[in-house]
Structure 1
Amino acid sequence: MSITIWGRPNSLNVHKVLWLAAELGLQFEHIPAGQQYGVVDTAEFLALNPNGLIPVIQDGDTVLWESNTILRYLTEVYGKESLWIEDPKLRFSAEKWIDWYTTTVLPVFGIVFFNLVRQAADKRDLAAVKVAAEKLEKILDVANSELAKQPYLSGSNFGVADIPLALALNHWFNLDVQRHHDHTHLKAWIERIRAREHFLKVASIL
């Protein structure tokens, strides 16, 4: 097994892959790439991902990009004894949360995260943050209701479906925003996630 992961260490999408690789106990080489690290505009990298985006993994002869696809690949190939859910009905019931995060949560959370974490203080659009935060709370009601019925989005046990949302909400609950919804079950869930051995080692890198 020879796995290489490309991506800057403060990218949420790269965090997904690095955290999962650690959860699976994989040995891998991590090559910082993107933004200040460069690399992504080189001919060698573009041969791996013609989009010039991160993350990218190379596992032997297999090269993959798109973070959610990488999550599914690593789980199926290396997680059969741990995070892989064999029953397809249960697996897809769990994995819908990966796509829900990408299509529904991320576009709204991204406005909050960009302005309060990535953007310089004098350039922040706080009006946009307020609108997005209010919308995000309503969206998160859906996950909070699910977690009232089971401890993880993946089901009874932690799984790959928990990874994308956990990385975002770890920041969400630390940000200085006004909240109106009491997401009791989400808060309990994120604390269970934060207690995992590898989580904060990856998620705290900004």
Structure 2
Amino acid sequence: MLRILGKQSSINVRKVLWSCEELGLPYQQEDWGAGYRATDTPAFLALNPNAMVPVLVDGGFVLWESNTICRYLAGRASDTRLLPLEPARRASVEQWMDWQATELNNAWRYAFMALVRQSPAHQDPAAIEASIANWNRHMHILERQLERGGPFVCGDAFTLADVVLGLSVNRWAMTPLAHPELPAVRAYYDRLDQRAAFRRHGRNGIA
């Protein structure tokens, strides 16, 4: 049985839970992180020296970094639907996964911490405004990608790129900010809502 260490409210934990359900992999989820078991203990740090969730424990194998975990799970399940074998198609999926983890995440971080988490350390109005503008600029990039191909991020087929970006779209949609009109993104969001695992782990009232 796979063990997934991390609280269900974490966006990165939800990527892994959603992936497991799409792949039909049984798992045991354990609550770790703020409000639950601490991640700065020696026992947890031995699993992930970054003291962050999620952590996957598969027998004697331990893995951290949510997008890497999702890739591992697809390989473990020998599932080429979510992560194709053909080099160009696989690279396209991984490109958008990496874009989500680096470019998109860095864009929304300050605004999300201010507007949703109400962090006292993130209350500079100019920084909030800049983060919102950058976040929306990146969402326009996703809009153009969906307009060019679709109905999913990498074309006709649902892949791991949609798992990680679907959760990012949910975060954007639920954050109280001025949202530009992005019809392709909105249609994509509704399309993902047809998947039961997304309703449980993505569009579930948690940003």
2:166 aligned residue: 166
Tell me the CA shift for residue 112 of structure 1: 2.2
TM-score after normalising by structure 2: 0.89
Query: Closer, same or farther in 2 for the Cα pair 1:61/1:97, shift >3 Å?
Result: same
- Confirm or deny that 1:19 pairs with 2:18: yes
> Structure 2: where are the runs of 5+ without partners?
none
Moved more, 190-199 or 41-50: 41-50
Tell me the CA shift for residue 87 of structure 1: 0.8
TM-score after normalising by structure 1: 0.89
2:69 aligned residue: 70
CA distance in 2, matches of 1:125, 1:139: 21
Query: Closer, same or farther in 2 for the Cα pair 1:26/1:175, shift >3 Å?
Result: same
CA distance in 2, matches of 1:188, 1:197: 17
1:155 aligned residue: 155
Q: Is the 8 A contact 2:113 2:119 kept in 1?
A: no
Tell me the CA shift for residue 114 of structure 1: 1.5
> Structure 1: where are the runs of 5+ without partners?
none
Q: CA RMSD in A?
A: 2.1
CA distance in 1, matches of 2:188, 2:160: 14
Q: Is the 8 A contact 1:166 1:190 kept in 2?
A: yes
1:59 aligned residue: 58
CA distance in 2, matches of 1:187, 1:53: 31
Percent identical: 35
Give the residue type in structure 1 aligned to 2:35: Q
What SS class does the counterpart of residue 150 from structure 1 fall into?
coil
Q: Is the 8 A contact 1:83 1:160 kept in 2?
A: yes
CA distance in 1, matches of 2:86, 2:80: 13
Query: Closer, same or farther in 2 for the Cα pair 1:200/1:126, shift >3 Å?
Result: farther
Tell me the CA shift for residue 155 of structure 1: 2.4
Tell me the CA shift for residue 125 of structure 1: 4.5
Query: Closer, same or farther in 2 for the Cα pair 1:120/1:41, shift >3 Å?
Result: closer
Q: Deviations over 1:58-88 (max 9, x none)?
A: 1122110111110110112115264231211
What SS class does the counterpart of residue 21 from structure 2 fall into?
helix
